[in-house]
Structure 1
């Protein structure tokens, strides 16, 4: 296993424990147990082979589509989720199928492109991306659907689809979807309110940035070193989930936030190295090609979501409702992201095993020059 990738995961899980302890101390034991289970899932999937993931990619993707359909009929929401249906409930536990759908799309497209190549396959890949995204957007879950769609674009690029083809696909899809956008915003007016900076509570409009102001205050109160998990200065909705970065900053200070960013950078560096090393193998087998796509897709699923979450906290993006990967409270996201890291471990090991002898042991942070 990659020591750097494992370090990044443990660091994020520990920071998440401190953040949840500061925001919701009553949930710390539950969060700790789930963090250990998620870490165990990483070890299990890291021992598997990329060809195993791709072999079952289509089946897993189809199962996630069925789960997304079930959400529309028997799904549950919360009082704060504007009447949406995003979770399936089994007993007392809830899970979010859209998290699994992102992973399913990665496995399916990696399997598809590695087996069939990228020539003249854009239409089929487009259909897979659109179907997955459409089932998420009608829940509605705009934040996750945008991440899922962009994930599909990244996977096509990682597979080797030309930029001009991807740009043409996006332009055509954008033009075709224009008639639907107005109707969608009319049906779900709170989405437009978030973009304009206001959220409606009953009949009383309340500035949507009030929560972000509290987030910024907690981050400032954290100072350089933080105050430890002794409770946030301010209380607000989603302090332990979507806005957990404020709790992390309050309890660990600027140092903790920097360590969190460093952990996400380690994930990016390790995953991109898989693609770099895979390019050194000639001829490139379907498994190595698929491993490169898998690692890049899993990296983007984790870090892309973290990027969006942090931009929301920085008041650059409107509120989207996506959790901070491996840090926020919530088992669906944590487990899925941990499985994604396990897949990256697997891809790194497989690629290294098939490297030429002279490049079999490169430094993790830098691939030797040719």
Structure 2
């Protein structure tokens, strides 16, 4: 009888292990694939033609890192969350001593390869915050951690990278808020942010102020700060319902939309595949967000609970901001469209973020049966 029960338990465990998070994984791979072909089309007949090969390499590396994330032991993830955070923190200091590229110090180069510490910091931030808030640490330790995060945002701002600075601060705020802990701290922080807002605007770079002014007064800045968005909106609008077909978009082929391979990649998809193509992309993002929110609701482990919410917020913020600036409802920033825009560090970062989320969801399924 005991042997029979033992065998039954063994087979049940095997069944649980097979419960892979298929919806998230499929959505992730499809978005990566769309990204590759969109980048290939966006650089056709331009000086950047050929960079799709690099995008393909990053896509393969992203899938590798996503897969590896599924097999990292849970204990190891939690143990090394602080280590990863502080290594990334020192990388943010180091990058300020690197050679500037187009006036910005954002990349650390190792031979022919380069990476952005500020992109990886998004991953280390949600891991570290999830760890710190889920553990029963002292208030003093949490305040120290928050000071390091604020200092990190200042380092990112100095690169300069204002959009990522906002992402870091918003992510800190949203995870602390959702945790229900340290109420006075986030309330004081919110008040301070509202007071400091006008002073921050006055100290922005001229092009950063221009982007905000272009958003507020599009007609006045149609040929300058609002030009990119205006062209992207025309490209998306010209795609109609079904689009003009792959590599058949006039505005894309004639390079009317600047930065169409990165910030304005949505304009390429909108012109070539129309409303249907854009809707498919948004549907894939919604599926991933739904799975992350599902994990947040069912998880009994606070570490994973905060991680899911942080990952969902990070993904939502990127998608909302990027789609918004392509449609003219948000100011232009350098925030990429996750897994689709050209850029290796961003692809690797979101691959690991979603890989770890899929890992956590598999754990939840095994626990709940």
Report the Cα distance in structure 2 between the residues aligned to 1:205 and 1:217, rounded to whole angstroms: 12
Does the C-alpha gap of structure 1 residues 266 and 178 become closer, same or farther in structure 2, counting only changes over 3 Å?
Answer: closer
Listed as ranges, the matches of 1:64-79 within 5 Å are 64-78=88-102
Tell me if the contact between 1:67 and 1:97 (Cα under 8 Å) persists in the aligned partners.
yes
2:326 to 295, 313, 320: 313
Q: Is the counterpart of residue 275 in structure 1 residue 296 in structure 2?
A: yes
1:139 aligned residue: 159
Aligned to 2:307: 294
Deviates more, 1:299-308 or 1:241-250: 299-308
Deviations 1:157-203 (CA, angstroms, capped at 9, x unpaired): 3333266652222213554x469636633xx22211211118xxxxx
Question: Are 2:186 and 1:166 aligned?
Answer: yes
**For residues 87 and 3 of structure 1, what CA distance do their matches in structure 2 show?**
34
Structure whose alpha-carbon radius of gyration is higher: 2
Q: Match for 2:113 among 93, 96, 114?
A: 93
TM-score where L is the length of structure 1: 0.84
For residues 37-64 of structure 1, the C-alpha deviation after alignment (integer angstroms, 9 at most, x for no partner) is 2112111102223432221111111111
- TM-score, structure 2 length as denominator? 0.84
Task: Give the distance between the partners of 1:205 and 1:300, measured in 2 at CA.
Answer: 32
Conservation of the 8 A alpha-carbon contact between 2:70 and 2:359: yes
Structure 1 residue aligned with 2:37? 18
Deviations 1:289-319 (A, max 9, x none): 1111112212222221111111111212221
**Other-structure match for 1:239:** 260
In structure 1, stretches of 5+ residues that fail to align are 199-203, 282-287, 361-370
Match 1:255 to one of 250, 271, 276: 276
2:211 to 194, 200, 223: 194
Alpha-carbon distance between aligned partners in 2 of 1:179 and 1:318, rounded to the nearest angstrom: 17
After superposition, the CA RMSD in angstroms is 2.4
Change (3 A) 1:171 1:51: farther
Q: How many residues align?
A: 336
Q: Is the 8 A contact 1:18 1:228 kept in 2?
A: no
CA distance in 2, matches of 1:344, 1:45: 9
From 46, 52, 70, give the equivalent of 2:76: 52
Which of 346, 356, 362 does residue 333 from structure 1 map onto? 346
Structure 2: state its 5+ residue gaps: 1-19, 45-49, 216-220
For residues 14 and 205 of structure 1, the distance between their equivalents in structure 2, rounded to whole angstroms, comes to 33
